[in-house]
Structures are given as structure tokens and as C-alpha cells.
Structure 1
Amino acid sequence: MESTSATRPEPAALPLLLLLASLLSQYVGAASAKSLFPLVGAEGVTGLRVGLSALMLMAILRPWRSLPGRGDLRNLLVYGATLGAMNLSIYRAMELIPIAIAIAIEVTGPLAVALLGSHRLKDFLWIACAAVGLVLLLPLHEASGVLNPVGVAYAAAAAFCWALYIVFGKRASALPGGQAVAWGMLVAASFTVPLGISHAGGGLLVPAVLFTGLAVAVLSSMVPYLLEMMALRRLPSHVFGLAVSASPAVAALIGFLMLGELLSAVQWAAIACIMFASAGSALSKARRGRE
């Protein structure tokens, strides 16, 4: 009797479910990290997450088996530096403002990269839509929800780092077998771990802190990376971009359920503008590709 298991079609929704699981894992990890801020600060949490992630990636991928060439070294150094700075900036932002708002501001970094250099009218509309969202979030008026301006500035720094991360990550991605991620995380750990130790000291070795830090590293780095790689093999890039544009909404849900973070109507409107701009940019890119 012929087996049908080998020919059974894969559920069409599976890639989207993988992406949803990736986003949920990432922001559950972010909410768990925020619970550690009163104990070891954003610097300590960043050091734990990046340092433990680097150890796990080095152990699993063993990138030293094929050392990068001199031409790849500069890209890896910048890629790793921006990766570490991005993690530190977004955690400093989350320490001061709600997770969803920090993420909404941060995603404008890759949005800017996607729209940079475009001369199409529709793309200017997406830029304007994202700009409206950012203006609504800026702590310039009471309707913004009295956001901490320092937290907003750190989120903007994370957006800038994410833009650089995309540019130099693409250049470094030519290395085989995930080596770029492992080496980049090691570079990031080279300065975030000493910074975390100098800030939190022996507090990083408290068993409860260390265990939560390990959970943050797994949930925020390892699991999302693996799930996204599985989804990317099955999804066109524009569909991936559309799904990721939901990041602020997922972050808002997790922030409410785990941390009790409530957003005002204006803040929700701002997040919706940025999500709409991100989704529109992904669709516009897909149309340009077909043309």
C-alpha cells in the first residue's frame, strides 16, 4: 500500500503561523527582560541576552571551522557593533516607555531602508504616514501620553541601528551556515557583556536573574531566528514584510498581558499609522518586483 504521508501537502497557513510564533516568542522575551530591569538595568539584561546568545550560537554553529576572510571582517565588525548597540538602545527605550511604542519607533529603521532612494509617489505616501505616526508619539503634547523623551530618543537610536544592521548584515550574509550571525553576536558580546558587568556586577550571577536571562536569550534570539528562517523558505519576501509589520500590535498585546501596559487612543493611532506604512511599503516593493 502506497504511503500518502510523503505527498501530503503542507498547510498553507504554516509559514504565517511560524512567523506569528516568532513574534510572540520575541516579545514574550522582551517582556521577561523588562521584569529584570529593576534588578540589573537595561545594560545588565543586554549583556546577559547577547552574551548567552553568542555562547549558544558559537556552540551550535561552530563558525571557527571556516574563518572569515579579510574582506568580510570589516562588515562583520560593523554588523556586530550595530547588533549590540541596537539591543542596548531598545532595552534602554523599553525601560522608559511601553514595549509597543518602542517597537513601533524601532521598525521605522527598516522602513526607511526599504523606502530610501525611491521616487514613486506611493512610497512618499508611506513615508508621510510613518511620519504622522512618529509625530503623534513624540512627547510634544499631552495627547502623546506623556512619553519619556529619553525613552523615545533611545527607540529612535535603535531604529537607526536597525537600518545599519540591515545594510551591513546583508553584506555579511554571504558567509555560509549562519556564520555571520554567530560572529556578529560575538562582536556584540565583546562590549555589551563588559558594560553589563560594570553596571550590575555580581547581580548577573544571581540564579533567578541568570535563569531569566537565559530564557530571554532563547526567546528573543534563538527561537525567533530559527522560526524566521523556516518561514522565509516558504514565503515571498513581501508577505514576510507584511507579517512583520504587525510587530507593534503583537508587542502591545504581550505588553498588556504580561506587564499591564495600557496605551492611549492617540498612541494606538500612531502605531496604526506606522504599521500601515510598513505594510504598504512591503506591498509596493512586491509590485515593483513584478513590474
Structure 2
Amino acid sequence: MTASPAPRRSRLAIAGPIVSALSVQAGAGVGTLLLPAVGAVGVVGLRQLFAAIVLAPTLRRDVLRWRLVWPSLCLGLALVVMNLAIYESFSRLELGLAVTLEFLGPLAVALLSSRRLLDLICGVAAGAGVALLTGTVHDIDPIGVGLALLAGVAWAAYILFTQRAGERLPGIQGTAVASCAASLVTLPLLIGILVRVPTDRLLGILSLGAVVGVLSSALPYSLDLAVLRRISRNLFSVLQSLHPAAAALSGLLILGQTLALPQLVGLAVISAANAVAVLGSARRGAAARRVAAAAAAPGA
């Protein structure tokens, strides 16, 4: 017996953000290893190039009309700003701390767009976790903090334009258009960087760039597009609180970065807020399906 479409959609809405967060931050950890060789601009250029290579074959010519693609083009610009700012921040802050500051962007979207008390409470709790994570760190680089906050603003724009792109274009067309647009913006800079790379190192850099492009862009952005068709924008924003924890894990496993106890408590608070938001959404969805089923039953 196959599962009904509604439970399948519900599972995607819950599992999608988890897989997306783990994939993005694993790619970010790998990308950080490339910073000494090609810098933030080079990492972002590689990331967008390989994402475009993966997604471009899915593009259909009939969707390339201005009224359909303008949100995707804006999404591509948001991706460039978000990625450049956060990778520059990674060169100044630990991965987990930088992504936690960046999370203030989607947190703001959750607080400003929510009409449900539970989502607001979860957003405030996640914000308290952010304060725990950052308030106990001494000598934070102010430029790194500013760059992470700029990335947060771009992350908020990413959420808004991803939702719009998903409404205008079918499947992952919106992600494909955005990735190609972002790649066209960064490609000239990337070429200028790669021509200065020693030949014996070029293949290794390109290989890592391909890993970053798939893990941090092609896979998670496609998942986010699908999820935002199924859940509200404010709940999706709360679910982005997975990213700081995923970034801290990636920083530990890939880069050997560690967090102190108060920062780990902050991560626990953020994760708890995320869990409550997911459970609350799942229960509301189940209740709505029961009501719909009862209304559709014979004799109702």
C-alpha cells in the first residue's frame, strides 16, 4: 500500500530543511578549505559555476520570459551577495558563529511574517540561542560580524525570492535560472583568479569546487524550492535555525573548530525551538487533514 500524497508532502516539508542544512554547511566547511587558495570570490565563483553546470540541463526555453523569471534573477543576485559575504566572514570568524549571526536574517522573516503564537515563540527562543552563542565570545572581529549580518539580510531576500520563484516556475526551474544568473555574475572574476593558480593545483581546486557547488547550492536550493511550496514562509524561516547547529558540526568535523559550553547551550536552545516548530506544524497539518476527511465523508 502506497503512502498518500499528503503524508509524502509532510515528510518532505520536515526532512527537506534538515537535509538542506546539513548539505549547505558540509559544503561550507569544504569551501572554507579553499579560501587560502582562491579567496572568497574564487570559492563563490566555483560554487555557482558547478551549481549552474548541474542545473542548466533542466532549463526549458518556454519559461525564459521576463514575467516568469524576474524573481529567479533577483534570487541569483541574492545568492551572490549572501555567499560572498558569508565566505568573507568565514575568513574572520569560526564557521558556527558566522552562520549563527547570518541566521538573524531568516529569524527576522519568521518574526515579521508569522501570525501564529507558536512560531513567534520559537523565533524568540531561537534568537535567545543566538545571543548565547555570540555573547560569550571575546574579541569578535567586527568586520566579520558585519559581513555575517549582511549575509543574513541576503538570506532573508533568498527566502522571499525562492518562494516567488517557486510560484512562477515549475519544478526546479527557478533554482536553475538563479544559479545560471549568479554564475554569469561571478564567472569573469573566477577566470581571473584561476589563471593565476599553479597548474599542478588546478585540478584539486576544481574538484573541491564541484563538491561545494553540489553540496552547498544545487542540492539544497532545489530542496528549499520544493519545501517552500508546501509550508509557510515564516515556518520555513524558523526551520533555518538548523543551520547554526549544522555549521558548528561541520566546523568541528571538517575544520577542527570547537565551541565553548555556553555556545553549545545556545545551539541546544536553537535546536529545541526548531523541533517545537516542526512538531507544531505536523500536528496542525494532521488536524487539518482529519477535518478535511471528515467533511468529505459521506453523510457529512
TM-score range (shorter-chain normalised) is 0.7 to 0.9
Counterparts of 2:264 and 2:48, CA distance in 1: 31
| Matching of residues 28-177 of structure 1 within 5 Å | 28-59=26-57, 61-63=58-60, 65-118=61-114, 125-138=121-134, 143-173=136-166, 174-177=168-171
**Which string of whole-angstrom CA distances, capped at 9 and with x for unpartnered residues, describes residues 198-232 of structure 1?**
456432971111111111112222333566678x5
* Count, aligned residues: 279
1:184 equivalenced with 2:181 (yes/no)? no
- Amino acid corresponding to residue 27 of structure 2 in structure 1: G
Counterparts of 2:106 and 2:271, CA distance in 1: 12
Q: State whether residues 115 and 281 of structure 1, in contact with CA within 8 Å, keep that contact through their aligned partners in structure 2.
A: no
> Mean Cα displacement is larger for which, 30-39 or 276-285?
276-285
Normalising by the residue count of structure 2, what TM-score does the alignment of the two structures yield?
A: 0.76
Normalising by the residue count of structure 1, what TM-score does the alignment of the two structures yield?
A: 0.78
- Amino acid corresponding to residue 82 of structure 1 in structure 2: A
Identify the match of residue 270 of structure 1 among 246, 256, 266: 266
Task: Provide the identity percentage.
Answer: 36
Counterparts of 1:40 and 1:48, CA distance in 2: 10
Counterparts of 2:159 and 2:17, CA distance in 1: 19
**Which string of whole-angstrom CA distances, capped at 9 and with x for unpartnered residues, describes residues 122-172 of structure 1?**
55544543443444455xx7x314332222222211111111111122122
**Where do 5+ consecutive residues of structure 1 fail to align?**
1-6
Decide whether aligned partners of structure 1 residues 204 and 74 sit closer, same or farther in structure 2, where only a CA change above 3 A counts.
farther
- Amino acid corresponding to residue 150 of structure 2 in structure 1: A
Q: State whether residues 82 and 154 of structure 2, in contact with CA within 8 Å, keep that contact through their aligned partners in structure 1.
A: yes
Question: Counterpart in 2 of 1:27?
Answer: 25
Q: State whether residues 52 and 176 of structure 2, in contact with CA within 8 Å, keep that contact through their aligned partners in structure 1.
A: yes
Counterparts of 2:265 and 2:157, CA distance in 1: 28
Decide whether aligned partners of structure 1 residues 196 and 151 sit closer, same or farther in structure 2, where only a CA change above 3 A counts.
farther
Counterparts of 1:124 and 1:179, CA distance in 2: 32
Decide whether aligned partners of structure 1 residues 75 and 239 sit closer, same or farther in structure 2, where only a CA change above 3 A counts.
closer
| Matching of residues 215-230 of structure 1 within 5 Å | 215-225=211-221
Decide whether aligned partners of structure 1 residues 122 and 204 sit closer, same or farther in structure 2, where only a CA change above 3 A counts.
farther
Q: State whether residues 109 and 161 of structure 1, in contact with CA within 8 Å, keep that contact through their aligned partners in structure 2.
A: yes
Counterparts of 2:147 and 2:237, CA distance in 1: 24
Give me the CA root mean square deviation: 3.7
**Which string of whole-angstrom CA distances, capped at 9 and with x for unpartnered residues, describes residues 93-125 of structure 1?**
222222222222223322221221446665554
